[in-house]
């Protein structure tokens, strides 16, 4: 397993040199897939952050490694759209996927995509002005692992600690567990809960609502992070 905290500040190496370091990991809290690494380009491209999809990572990656390698060149990153990583709109994602040639993850049944462009008529007649749709808003299911760390965990019958880390599979495709610090004074115990028990992540109140009683969470698999 790979944890979000193990990734933070790791260097990112393109095929022809350094491009920055890992600032954050974005994941979908509905289907629990990893969407992007947020890369801070530092002094190379001052003031810019870049989103990189998991498909560009060179795997397997070992936590002892000081860098994460990606299948991109510095020029590909330099010429990528200058975007705002908070929030991330569908329009932004379209720009990124088009630039890098990534297959859009939303092009699956049940996930709405953009409307198709108007078709030209054989006669060349001018088409009526299309109805303007509102600008796509941020994906409300896209979560920052840095932001979620520290969220209070509310079970069915009360509060039981806070999120301490997010754990991913070795292929860097999905969230396997959320680590919960129970804040027990004597034991300082951490446990793992499965994403499927999360009913909702409430950004406004900085809470993770778990559909379990406190006693079940406290009896969950203990987690002892590697030193």
Please give the structure tokens belonging to residue 35: 């969407």
Going along the chain, which residue ranges are E strands? 2-3, 11-14, 17-28, 34-40, 49-52, 67-69, 142-144, 152-155, 158-168, 175-181, 190-193, 198-202, 207-210
Instruction: Summarize pLDDT for 150-176 with one digit per residue, the tens.
Output: 999 999 999 999 999 999 999 999 999
In this model, does residue 15 exceed pLDDT 70? yes
195: closest CA among 141, 138, 139? 141
Instruction: Summarize pLDDT for 102-129 with one digit per residue, the tens.
Output: 988 887 655 544 444 444 444 445 445 5
- At residue 107, the pLDDT reads 77
Residue pair 48/41 in contact (Cβ under 8 Å)? The answer is: yes
Q: Over range 41-64, report the average pLDDT.
A: 94
Instruction: Summarize pLDDT for 192-224 with one digit per residue, the tens.
Output: 999 999 999 999 999 999 999 999 999 999 998
Structural domains in the chain plus CATH codes: 2-100 (2.30.30.240), 145-218 (2.30.30.240)
Residue 6 three-state SS:
helix
Report which of residues 124 and 48 the model is more confident about.
Answer: 48
- At residue 73, the pLDDT reads 97
**Rounded to an integer, what distance in angstroms lies between the CA atom of residue 212 and that of residue 73?**
46
Q: How confident is the model at residue 35 (pLDDT cuts 50, 70, 90)?
A: very high
- At residue 108, the pLDDT reads 61
Which secondary-structure segment (H or E) carries 74?
A: helix 74-78
Neighbours of 192 (CB within 10 A): 17
- At residue 131, the pLDDT reads 46
- At residue 22, the pLDDT reads 97
- At residue 157, the pLDDT reads 94
- At residue 118, the pLDDT reads 46
Partners of 70 in the β-ladder = 57
C-alpha 197 chain-centroid distance: 19
Could you write out the three-class secondary structure of 158-221?
Answer: EEEEEEEEEEECCCCCEEEEEEEECCCCCCCCEEEECHHHEEEEECCCCEEEECCCHHHHHCCC
In this model, does residue 185 exceed pLDDT 60? yes
């Amino acid at each position: 397993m790979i944890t979000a905290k193990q990734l933070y500040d790791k260097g990112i190496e393109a095929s022809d040199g350094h491009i920055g370091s890992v600032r954050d990991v974005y994941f979908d809290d509905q289907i629990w897939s990893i969407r992007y690494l947020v890369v801070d380009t530092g002094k190379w491209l001052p003031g810019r952050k870049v989103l990189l999809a998991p498909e560009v990572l060179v795997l397997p990656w070992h936590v002892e490694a000081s860098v994460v390698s990606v299948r991109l060149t510095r020029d590909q990153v330099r010429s990528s759209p200058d975007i705002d990583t908070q929030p991330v709109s569908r329009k932004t994602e379209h720009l990124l996927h088009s630039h890098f040639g990534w297959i859009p993850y939303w092009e699956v049944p049940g996930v709405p995509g953009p409307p198709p462009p108007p078709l030209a008529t054989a006669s060349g007649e001018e088409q009526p002005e299309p109805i303007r749709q509102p600008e796509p808003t941020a994906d409300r299911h896209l979560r920052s692992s840095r932001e979620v760390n520290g969220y209070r965990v509310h079970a069915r019958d009360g509060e039981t600690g806070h999120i301490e880390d997010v754990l991913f599979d070795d292929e860097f495709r999905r969230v396997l567990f959320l680590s919960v610090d129970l804040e027990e004074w004597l034991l300082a115990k951490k446990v793992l809960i499965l994403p499927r028990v999360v009913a909702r992540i409430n950004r406004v109140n900085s809470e993770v609502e778990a559909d379990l009683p406190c006693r079940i969470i406290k009896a969950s698999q203990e987690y002892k992070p590697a030193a």
